[in-house]
Amino acid sequence: MKANKKQSTTIAKKQQEQREGMKEQWRADLDEVLELLKAKNRRFGDLMEYVFDPQYSQGHVRWHEYLVNEGSTTKVLNWWMTQKSSTVRQEVSAWAIEHVESIVASEAQAATKSGKLRTLGKIIDKEFVLSFDFARIHEDLEENLAPNAIRILTAFSTSREAHKHTERRKSRTKMVRNGYYGLESCFTHTNLP
């Protein structure tokens, strides 16, 4: 039994040394690539632009050498957001907000175009209001018409401590939120021709 434990320890130690050696070689290789860029009077940014700008037709490299690894882009964005440079964080945040605005605007346009929430030409009376099914409206928004907008509104209206709430409180909060989103969606931006 001692022999097996000693053998397992020896194997684990060799594997660890091998991993460390591979990591050192990886770093040395990449340092060499950076030195080559410098020797060619090129910046790392030049390489990034060359690989990621579609006009240079490097799609194969871009996909097979980077994007094929799920999460790699998110990892880089997270690294940029933890930079000490507020300029980098501000630039990434501004881009993200613009991107989300574009997505939500597209969803709003599609929701309006669908006509599902349109009240134009309908008589707004007690019967009309009582016929609202806020849960269905919310479900339609969440699943079909505006899933990203609903995610943003949910994040905005949900406490960080919400996971600690009782089921009853979660249910009540969801009912109020769904009703608000339903009313909001029915009476804003839906009377457009």
Burial of 111 (0-12, 13-18, 19+ CB in 10 A): buried
Mention every residue, 6+ apart, whose C-beta is less than 8 A from residue 191: 118, 119, 120
pLDDT tens digits, one per residue of 64-109: 988 888 999 999 999 988 888 889 999 999 999 999 999 999 999 9
Residue 16 belongs to a domain: yes
The verdict on 115 and 48 lying in the same domain is no
The verdict on 93 and 176 lying in the same domain is yes
The pTM of this model reads 0.64
The verdict on 98 and 29 lying in the same domain is no
Burial of 22 (0-12, 13-18, 19+ CB in 10 A): exposed
For residue 133, give the DSSP letter: -
Give Dmax over CA atoms of the chain in angstroms. 86
The verdict on 100 and 183 lying in the same domain is yes
- Position 119 scores a pLDDT of 80
Task: Dig out the tokens for 4 from the structure.
Answer: 């097996």
Residue whose C-alpha is closest to residue 142's, from 176, 193, 98, 185: 185
Residue 25 belongs to a domain: yes
The verdict on 107 and 136 lying in the same domain is yes
The verdict on 95 and 169 lying in the same domain is yes
Residue 77 belongs to a domain: no
The verdict on 108 and 169 lying in the same domain is yes
- Position 105 scores a pLDDT of 94
- Position 192 scores a pLDDT of 42
- Position 173 scores a pLDDT of 67
The verdict on 126 and 38 lying in the same domain is no
Residue 112 belongs to a domain: yes
Q: At what angle do helices 86-114 and 72-81 cross, to 10 degrees?
A: 130
Residue 78 belongs to a domain: no
- Position 1 scores a pLDDT of 61
Residue whose C-alpha is closest to residue 188's, from 117, 140, 139, 126: 117
Domain enclosing residue 63, as ranges: 2-68
CB 190, CB 112: distance < 8 Å: yes
DSSP letter for each residue of 22-76 = HHHHHHHHHHHHHHHHHHTT--HHHHHHHHHSGGG--HHHHIIIIITSTTHHHHH
The verdict on 18 and 96 lying in the same domain is no
Which parts of the chain have pLDDT scores under 50? 187, 189-193
Domain count, the chain: 2
- Position 177 scores a pLDDT of 62
Whole-angstrom CA distances from 20 to 13, 30, 61, 118 are 11, 15, 27, 63
Determine the Cα–Cα distance for residues 139 and 144; give it in Å rounded to an integer: 8
- Position 127 scores a pLDDT of 85
CB 132, CB 103: distance < 8 Å: no
Task: Dig out the tokens for 12 from the structure.
Answer: 């684990």
Residue 26 belongs to a domain: yes
